[in-house]
Structures are given as structure tokens and as C-alpha cells.
Amino acid sequence: MQKKIKLSEKLMEKHGKIRYRFMNAYLFATVFQKNQETLKDLIAALLRIELKEIVSLEILNPILPGQDIDHKSCIMDILVLLNGNIRVNLEMQVLDEGNWNERGVYYLAENLLDLKKGEDYKNLKTTVQIGILDFDLWKSGKNPFYQVYELWDTEHDRVFTNKMKLCVLSLRQAEKAEERERQSGLYDWAKALTAETWEELQELSEKNEKIKEAVETMITLTEDERVRIECMRQEKAERDWINAMNYATEQGEERGEARGIKMGIQKGMKQERENTLKLVAKMSQNGDTEYIARLMEPEVFEQMAAKYGMKA
């Protein structure tokens, strides 16, 4: 029987619902940047390597606890350089904007391009994009707990290059975790990230030292009013995005119904709704959220549609 890890008094005295959880993208980024030993442990589990294989870790996009952050995109990444030659970008994403496949590939390509002019291609660093998602990536078919995607030679069943990987951790599929993912600690990390009560975190902390350290770091950070303010701003940004999407859905259906008189009510509503949602997703990603509520104004809709190359 595994010996329980002793918890700190601060953690022991916590009970009930957690006010600011790891699912808050700002808090997630702040905790794991503050406590890099826990970040190493999480990355090792995600990359399916031994912790001792991570000799060095450098955070390439550091943020200071309480630092004023632009929360418009609702996305917080942690970009690190492992052992001087592997770039890993972790993204906590709780909102399904409908384009993670494409955005994941874009971020992967963006981080891959780090060669200086004239530098030998052999110096290209291995780049890994990791999406920690609180939604199912695939709308049909199976959604595994953890999946690794690589550039693959489909004719001869072999990897084309090991310089780029895209990994997806589906938090909602934790119970599908395979034995190796449970042994590596990845399952426990997923349960910690999605925990809603302090009792859940206490139980996980009693059997995983690094999770305990991450939880204690979270407690310490959220005692800082500046950190709590940024957490609230992150929550507000996510609520605004959800409200904007709901609004766009309703307005898209209204526009579609109006146009549908000529092309068939049902077909018109469906097409207009899809077009509006795509436009809202692009506007949200690029910080044009203040215009979303005005999309029913013809001139605003046409202006935004033209800006993002969509048919009004």
C-alpha cells in the first residue's frame, strides 16, 4: 500500500468548492511558471519520458504573478525550451471555438520557425504543441484521453520527421486513460486540473508529491489580490465569449430566417448561423469582441465580413 504524503496545514484546512481552479487558464499558466519542478513533471508525463530526462527548462514567455494581461483571446500558453533543443508549447483551452485543429497546427508551425537567416536546417529544434482541452476535439468518432499526431508517411507506415508533434489531452475523457497514462501520472494530473473541490485535490496530493506542490503554489498565489483580479478577468473574458457566441447564434438564425424566404427557411438559417459563428470565432481570436454585439447592423456585419475575407 502506497504511503500517504503529508499535507501542509494550509491545504488541510481547505474544504468545499475551489474558487479559482487550475482550469482558469491564467492561474494554470501562473502556477506552472512559478513552480517549474511541477511543470517538468507535467511535461514529462505528457511527452511520455522520464522526469530525469529533462535536464533543463527555460520559460520563453514568462509572466509575473499579478501582471496585467490581455485576456481577450481567452488563451494562455506556456512556451518552454527543454534541454536547449526542444520547444514545447502548452495551451489550456476550456472554450471550444471550433477551430482548434487549425490553430494547433498554426502555433506548431509558428514555434517551429526559429532558425536565423543563413542557419543550417539541421539546427531546427524539435517542436511540440500540446493542447489541454476541456472539450472533445472530434465531433464524431472516438475521442481518446491522449493522442499524439505526427507527420506520417502513409504509404510506407513511417514517421517523416520527428521535428514536429501535436499532442492533445482530452480532460473529459480521463476515464479512458490507458494503463501507461495512469502509471506516468498523466491521469492524476488530468484529475487535478479538473478538480472542483479541495477534497479531490487533497486526495490526489496525498499520493503525488508534484501535484501537492502545484496545489500549494496555487494556494499561495491566490492569496495575492493582484492574482485574484487577473483570474476574475480571465473568467470574465470567457463569459463574454460565451455570451457573444450565444448572441451570434440567435442573430445568425434571425438573419438566416430573413434570407431563407428565398432559399428555404431551414437551409437559410443553417447556412447563416454557420457563417456568423465562423465570423465570431475569427473576431474573438483577433480581439474584435467589441463589434460582435453589433453584427446585426448591416454595415458592421459587412465591414467585419470583408476584414476576415468572408461573404456578407
Is residue 56 included in any domain, yes or no? Answer: yes
For the cut 80, the answer to whether the pLDDT of residue 99 exceeds it is no
In this prediction, residue 234 carries a pLDDT of: 86
In this prediction, residue 263 carries a pLDDT of: 46
In this prediction, residue 218 carries a pLDDT of: 96
Is residue 4 included in any domain, yes or no? Answer: no
174 and 253 housed in the same domain: no
| Interval 169-183 mean pLDDT | 92
Separation CA 252–CA 310 (nearest Å): 14
| Interval 167-175 mean pLDDT | 95
257 and 203 housed in the same domain: no
119 and 186 housed in the same domain: yes
In this prediction, residue 264 carries a pLDDT of: 45
Count: domains in the chain: 2
Q: Give residue 254's domain range.
A: 238-307
Is residue 263 included in any domain, yes or no? Answer: yes
pLDDT digits (tens, 9 = 90+) for 204-252: 999 999 999 999 999 999 999 999 999 998 888 877 767 666 666 665 5
Is residue 2 included in any domain, yes or no? Answer: no
pLDDT band, residue 67 (cuts 50/70/90): low
Q: In terms of pLDDT, which residue wins out, 301 or 42?
A: 42
Is residue 1 included in any domain, yes or no? Answer: no
219 and 266 housed in the same domain: no
Q: What pTM did the predictor assign?
A: 0.78
Q: Report the relative pairing of strands 76-82 and 57-59 from DSSP bridges.
A: antiparallel
161 and 21 housed in the same domain: yes
In this prediction, residue 245 carries a pLDDT of: 67
295 and 175 housed in the same domain: no
For the cut 70, the answer to whether the pLDDT of residue 73 exceeds it is no
Lowest mean pLDDT among 63-72, 103-112, 202-211, 235-244: 63-72
43 and 102 housed in the same domain: yes
Q: In terms of pLDDT, which residue wins out, 90 or 275?
A: 90
Is residue 228 included in any domain, yes or no? Answer: no
161 and 274 housed in the same domain: no
Is residue 71 included in any domain, yes or no? Answer: yes
pLDDT band, residue 111 (cuts 50/70/90): confident
In this prediction, residue 248 carries a pLDDT of: 61
| Cβ-based neighbours of 309, under 8 Å, separated by 6 or more | none
Please check whether residue 14 is in contact with residue 202, taking contact to mean a CB–CB distance below 8 angstroms: yes
Is residue 230 included in any domain, yes or no? Answer: no
Q: What is the DSSP string of 141-210?
A: S---SEEEEE-EETTTTEES-SSEEEEEEEGGGGGG--HHHHHTTHHHHHHHHH--BHHHHHHHHTT-HH
130 and 245 housed in the same domain: no
108 and 206 housed in the same domain: yes
For the cut 80, the answer to whether the pLDDT of residue 294 exceeds it is no
Q: What is the DSSP string of 215-228?
A: HHHHHHHTTSHHHH
Q: In terms of pLDDT, which residue wins out, 42 or 280?
A: 42
Average pLDDT, the chain: 84
Last residue of a domain, one of 171, 199, 223: 223
Measured in degrees and rounded to the nearest 5, phi and psi for residue 104 equal -60, -40
Last residue of a domain, one of 223, 247, 264: 223
149 and 269 housed in the same domain: no
Separation CA 140–CA 26 (nearest Å): 30
78 and 151 housed in the same domain: yes
| Interval 76-100 mean pLDDT | 89
In this prediction, residue 80 carries a pLDDT of: 96
% of the chain with per-residue pLDDT over 90? 52
